[in-house]
Structures are given as C-alpha cells and as structure tokens.
Amino acid sequence: MTAIDAFLVTTPTETAPVPPARVPARITRAPRAHQPEPTPQAVRDEAHDPTSPELAGRLAAARAQVAARYGVTARRADTVAPQVAAAVAAASDLPRSVLDVQLGHRSVRRFLPGPLPPSVLPTLVAAAQSAPTSSDLQLWSVVAVTDQARRARVADLSGGQDHVRDAPLLLVWVADVARVRALAERRDTAVHATGYLETTVTAFVDAALAAQNAAVAAESLGLGTVYLDGVRDRPEALGAELRLPRGTAPVVGLLVGRPDPARAGRVTPRLPQAVVLHHETYDTARQLRPLAAYERRMAEFYRAEGLDGGWVGRVLTRLRGHGSLRGRERLRSALAALGLPSW
C-alpha cells in the first residue's frame, strides 16, 4: 500500500483553514501538549479522520506549498492542481528521505494489476513542474496514456516490451515549441529561434528534468518506475499516435505503477566516482584506471540477471553505429520532420 492509497483524498469543493501568509519551507507539525502516547490504531484512525486537527494542519501546509508552486491563493490550490495537496500531506509521513529514494532507485518492469489512484497523476505533474527550466521557457509537455489499447500500440512502436502494456500509467515527455509558436502567431510575432539546435537541446533538457522529478516523486510514494527510451525509435509514428502537433517531439517515456514485490528489480551498480568526477580539469587517464574492478562487478551482476558479458562490451555494442540504435540514428531527420529543424 502506498501513502496515497492510505490517505483520504480531499475534493476541490472542500474548504480548508487558511494557511499562514509565509509559505513554510517544509511541512512540520505544531507541538502538542503532553498527553498519553496514542495507540497505533488511534494514529491510523486520526489519519483518516477529516475533522482531525492533525490532518487539517498538514493539509493547510500542503496547500500552501502547492499554492506557492502555481502562484495562486491557498484556497485555489485544489482547483489548479486537484488532489495534490492531499498527496503531499500524506507523503509527509513517509520515513524515506530524498537521498534514500534517489540512492535506492531501481528499474521496475513488473507491476501489479489495477489503476493508480486519481491523485497520482496531478501529483507527479506538480513535481515535474517544480523542476528547473531554462529562462522559465517551460518548453515541455507530457502526454499521460492509461488506455490499454493505446499503450499496446505505443509498445509496438517502441521495442515491443511487455511492461509498456502492463504498466497502468505511461507518461510520454515531449519537447514542445508548438506552444510558443502558437502564442507568437496570435501576436503576429516571429520566433525564428524555435528552429535552432540550442532551442531543441533546451526543450530536451527541460523535458528530462521534469521527467526525473516525476520519477523521484513516484518512487517517494512507494510506486515503481522505468524509463522508456524506445519512444525515440519511431518518433514520427509515435507522434501520430499521440496526435502531437508540429513543433513537438517525444523525448522519453516513464512507466509508473505499483511494483510487483515477487519480482522486484535490483539496484544496478554505477561507475565509481573516480571515473565520472573530475576536479578542476578533465583527466582522461585517471578515469580509466578504476574501470577494471567495475567491469568485474558488472559481469557478476549481469550473470545473476541471466545476461552474458560485461559493461564495456555492452556499451561498445550499443554504440557501434548503424542499426545498433534501432532507428534512433536518424533522430536529426526525424526532428526536422516533426518541426524541430535544429539548425
């Protein structure tokens, strides 16, 4: 059971106490007078009691956070981002820190059946919108796919992987200059820079940052995630399936669901910091020395996963050239066809 499952969701029509004028940096509980320690059952009952002062205080603080994110009053927080405040308030009880969630990340490809609570999607989007964005351009959008038939078609266009069909939620993160172009057309203004390579890179970075924020948020709620790079295998066909307008392109997919505890994934070892961390200047010779030990560790890891070889061989095979990227080697021409010429 995730935190969202166990929490009473507040509808947008319900009112809440007006929070303090200053937005708290984090959700905290007000100190209580000394009283007998409540029983575990009493704690659970209070968490589900809509009249509980504890719940009211947590919701008020959460609404203040959501309101600050969207630049509205706390009373409008549930309107601009339905159910997000309730999810944030529920998550404040989770014992995992941000670092714990990040360091414990693992790809999940086996999900339990059934849809996710309705509060999940707006909560993940709120987290995504809290990511940094270059010059506040916000050159990204996201398409949420829950229809099973459409997920199956997306799976066929992105490598035919079963977990794309099985996950209850697929988020396709999109580089998007179509919105800016539409605004420019309304004002009869030219925006030639939307065709530049710099703008395409900016849109891809914006979308990736938003996606990663959503992934961390999902995992903090006890959900499992895995990225889907296959959305770039046939981007024009996928764009047609999702009815993406000209000036947009799929960047990456993110599958979200309740992980199957019987088939939990493992944490994949990463390169030593001595390989990826350089002090002051880049040091090519130094970064290659620690790779031998890592190669041995990865060979053991892959063997336990039923795979042959080591990390170096897999990297070189993947990047050998034509055909190794399953169509992604023609991404530049695909972007041009989608209205992102990237000059």
pLDDT, tens digit, for every residue of 174-213? 999 999 999 999 999 999 999 999 999 999 999 999 999 9
- 161/103 same-domain check: yes
Amino acid 26: pLDDT: 42
Digit-by-digit pLDDT tens for the chain (343 residues) are 455 454 333 333 333 333 444 444 444 444 444 444 433 333 334 445 556 788 888 899 889 888 877 878 889 889 888 888 888 888 777 667 788 889 889 999 999 999 999 999 999 999 999 999 999 999 999 999 999 999 999 999 999 999 999 999 999 999 999 999 999 999 999 999 999 999 999 999 999 999 999 999 999 999 999 999 999 999 999 999 999 999 999 999 999 999 999 887 788 999 988 889 999 999 988 888 889 888 999 999 999 999 999 999 999 999 998 788 988 999 999 999 999 999 9
Q: Could you tell me if residue 149 is inside a domain?
A: yes
- 105/47 same-domain check: no
Amino acid 51: pLDDT: 65
Q: Say which DSSP state 278 is in.
A: -
Q: What is the pLDDT of residues 110-152, one digit of tens each?
A: 999 999 999 999 999 999 999 999 999 999 999 999 999 999 9
- 156/201 same-domain check: yes
Q: Which residues are CB-contacts of 216 (< 8 A; sequence separation ≥ 6)?
A: 98, 101, 102, 127
Task: Please count the other Cβ atoms lying within 10 Å of the Cβ belonging to residue 209.
Answer: 18
Task: Please count the other Cβ atoms lying within 10 Å of the Cβ belonging to residue 163.
Answer: 18
Q: Could you tell me if residue 342 is inside a domain?
A: no
Q: CA nearest 168: which of 255, 80, 91? A: 255
- 100/243 same-domain check: yes
Amino acid 25: pLDDT: 43
Identify the domain boundary among 217, 240, 263: 263
Structural domain of 90: 1-30+41-94
pTM for the model stands at 0.80
Task: Please count the other Cβ atoms lying within 10 Å of the Cβ belonging to residue 107.
Answer: 14
DSSP alpha helices (H): ranges in the chain?
40-47, 53-70, 77-80, 84-91, 98-103, 120-129, 148-157, 162-166, 178-186, 197-220, 235-241, 273-276, 284-288, 291-304, 311-318, 331-337
Please give the Cα distance from 98 to 217 (Å, whole number): 9
**CA Rg, the chain, in Å?**
23
Q: Could you tell me if residue 189 is inside a domain?
A: yes
Judged by DSSP in three states, 83 sits in: coil
Q: Could you tell me if residue 286 is inside a domain?
A: yes
Q: CA nearest 172: which of 147, 193, 197? A: 147
